């Protein structure tokens, strides 16, 4: 089963996204910030996709993405965030982010894109 990592400092968001993905037959792991997310990405070869917040303590999402890229990892990453400003999106693009979702998470609208990325 494809596995997705959800990285967000909010347990509410982690629960919401995990619950939706699980109900769509997708295996899920979670991380609480960029440090935790980076560690899991390095450790777990079964991850097919990362859904990641931007504003998190300890290590923000875009920094995590840049570090993942620096490690040579090619796992697709989607940002799930309240941020929508163009320069932040550009930074994400430059770091190889595949897509951007402005909160609130709309599972029905995003699921086809998510399935495409993990297939």
Contacting residues toward another protein, per CB under 8 A: 10-13, 15-16, 19-20, 55, 78, 81-87, 89, 92-93, 97-106, 109-110, 113-114
Query: At its nearest, how many Å lie between another protein and the CB of residue 43?
Result: 23
Query: At its nearest, how many Å lie between another protein and the CB of residue 98?
Result: 6
Where do the H-state alpha helices sit in 1-119? Answer: 11-23, 34-43, 61-70, 86-94, 107-118
Calpha distance 43→110 (Å, rounded): 27
Specify the residue, 32 or 35, whose C-beta has the smaller distance to another protein: 32
DSSP 105: P
Calpha distance 23→57 (Å, rounded): 29
Specify the residue, 42 or 109, whose C-beta has the smaller distance to another protein: 109
Specify the residue, 1 or 85, whose C-beta has the smaller distance to another protein: 85
Structure token digits, residue 9 = 């400092």
Beta-bridged to residue 5, according to DSSP, are 29, 50
Query: At its nearest, how many Å lie between another protein and the CB of residue 31?
Result: 15
């Amino acid at each position: 089963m494809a596995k997705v990592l959800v990285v967000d400092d909010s347990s509410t968001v982690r629960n919401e996204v995990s619950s939706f993905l699980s109900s769509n037959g997708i295996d899920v792991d979670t991380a609480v910030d960029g440090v935790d997310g980076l560690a899991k990405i390095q450790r777990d070869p079964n991850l097919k996709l990362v859904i990641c917040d931007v504003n998190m303590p300890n290590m923000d999402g875009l920094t995590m993405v840049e570090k993942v890229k620096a490690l040579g990892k090619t796992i697709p990453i989607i940002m799930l965030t309240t941020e929508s400003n163009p320069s932040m999106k550009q930074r994400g693009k430059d770091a190889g982010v595949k897509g951007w979702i402005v909160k609130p998470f709309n599972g029905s609208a995003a699921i086809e894109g998510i399935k495409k990325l993990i297939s």
